[in-house]
Structure 1
Amino acid sequence: MFALTSNMYCQTKNEKTMKLNAGVVTEKLAETKKFYTEVLNFGVTFENEFYLLLHTPNKTAEISFLLPNHPSQQSLFHAPFNGHGMYLTIEVDDVDALYQNLKKKGVNIKIDLRNEPWGDRHFAIQDPNGIGIDLVKYAP
């Protein structure tokens, strides 16, 4: 789903939790914030002049965005994402209602709402960084 900055907890014998927060290095912080907050109703967990951390509406997942070449970051996190080869999958309760809502908002639908042979129902949009976002209701 990156030029990764991640926040993971290493699993030990007694620890069962591991949380992944993916990150994208991009110059488009303002456009990205607007897209995720206005189109997908994400919230802002934290923000400063070079970093943006967003959360899903139910606060179960996060994604971060970082300006490229920022002096506070190590060189591993300097190169910007090139806009290809990455996608996010977001599971939703009512994919039909979300599809209609986003169409009414004028969001560019990249893959129309469809049913897959294995039972999933989904459609896809694209964020300002070129990241494909697959919005899906999984088959029961």
Structure 2
Amino acid sequence: MPAIPQFSATVFSPETAPVRDFYVSLFGLEVSTDVGWFVALRRPGEVWEVCVWDPGHEAVPAAARASAAAGAAPLLAFVVDDVTALAAAARAAEVPVLGPIVDEPWGQRHVFLQDPAGTVIDVVQFIAPDPAWLAAHGIDPSDAPVPA
């Protein structure tokens, strides 16, 4: 199996600046590359990045351009320490919050947001899972995510 030294998730948007600013202001990402039609965002010391790419740029393959034009979009997920605080910051910044904060029995508190390109973002905080839910699904409690 090949090594994977880095991971990137790419959001297509013909307007890269507002999408860049969204991830910088709400998630604290830093711009590592910005050439206008392509932006790479990272957190210092991390090996993953979120990229924003103008689908109209000549470097975007035709199939990807067609997919973006059809409205196909990824779902991004960020794990945070405090979903409630991040949701409040999103509302204060007039970011679309797509529903209430929900506590799931499998051990996640989450809320869905939408970035300026229309990408849906699942913001997740690990919480203690419901022991009854784990038992009903045959999951050993030691295999469940544990709140940090």
TM-score, structure 2 as length reference: 0.71
Kept after mapping to 1: 8 A contact 2:11/2:74 = no
Which structure exhibits the higher relative contact order, with contacts defined as CA atoms closer than 8 Å and separated by 6 or more residues?
A: 1
Which position in structure 1 is the counterpart of 2:26? Answer: 39
Q: Which runs of 5+ in 2 are unaligned?
A: 128-145
Kept after mapping to 2: 8 A contact 1:25/1:79 = no
Matched, 1:119 2:102: no
- Runs of 4+ aligned structure 1 residues displaced above 3 Å come to 56-60, 72-80, 82-85
Aligned counterpart for 1:106 among listed residues 94, 102, 118 = 94
Distance 1:51 1:80, change over 3 A: farther
Q: Which runs of 5+ in 1 are unaligned?
A: 1-9
* Greater radius of gyration (CA): 2
Kept after mapping to 1: 8 A contact 2:76/2:122 = yes
DSSP 3-state at the match of 1:112: coil
Matched, 1:19 2:6: yes
Q: As a proportion of its length, which structure holds more helix?
A: 2
Say what the alpha-carbon RMSD is for the aligned residues: 2.4
Matched, 1:51 2:26: no
DSSP 3-state at the match of 1:69: coil
User: Aligned equivalents of 2:77 and 2:120: distance in 1?
Assistant: 8
Distance 1:28 1:113, change over 3 A: same
